[in-house]
Structure 1
Amino acid sequence: MTPREATLALLAARAEGATVCPSEAARAVAGPGGDWREAMPQIHAAVDAMLADGLIRLSWKGRPLTARTGPYRIRRAGGG
């Protein structure tokens, strides 16, 4: 599963407006027993691309982020 597919699948499985942590997507990419931390650069790159494509929005502690900086959460672009 690609980082983009993993992130979008996690979001699709959540309620509208719910968020996911990038580490959840990294764990999905790494698979059972894999090192999810090694997958984080791929996740960050996919998040940057999806943000540029308007597919997702980012936030931290309920505040919108315009770019990926520091800790962040991911949600669908149309979600509340």
Structure 2
Amino acid sequence: MTGDATIRESIVALLSARSPDASVCPSEVARSLEATEDAWRTLMPQVRQVAAAMAEARLIVATQGERVVPSAEVLMASGPIRLRRGPAFPVDA
């Protein structure tokens, strides 16, 4: 079972590897942690849960198009979301 800390580390690593204004899809996070489609799809709710907590802590910002998705809505957001660096994203990550 993949823990929340591992998911959080994966989100930070994926965002750190890209330009500061780039984003990642939660499915990219899940795919980086699980090899099979069934496994990464099963992980998606947990990835969104961790993303919601990170958004609440302002480490990341979740978006749909140009709209910022409030942290309380990340779990229930209908359709795809993207994750971007937030104001509290670790500078040295």
Paired residue type of 2:19: A
Rounded Cα–Cα distance in structure 2 between residues aligned with 1:53 and 1:46: 11
Rounded Cα–Cα distance in structure 1 between residues aligned with 2:52 and 2:68: 15
User: What is the Cα deviation at residue 33 of structure 1?
Assistant: 3.7
User: What is the Cα deviation at residue 63 of structure 1?
Assistant: 2.1
TM-score relative to the length of structure 2:
0.74
Paired residue type of 1:18: A
- Which blocks of at least 5 consecutive residues in structure 2 are unaligned? none
2:81 to 63, 72, 77: 72
- Percent of paired sites with the same residue: 38
Listed as ranges, the matches of 1:1-80 within 5 Å are 2-30=6-34, 32-33=35-36, 35-66=39-70, 67-68=73-74, 69-70=77-78, 71-78=80-87
User: What is the Cα deviation at residue 41 of structure 1?
Assistant: 1.6
Backbone CA RMSD of aligned residues: 1.8
- Which blocks of at least 5 consecutive residues in structure 1 are unaligned? none
TM-score relative to the length of structure 1:
0.85
Q: Secondary structure at the match of 2:14?
A: helix
Number of residue equivalences: 78
Rounded Cα–Cα distance in structure 2 between residues aligned with 1:14 and 1:28: 15
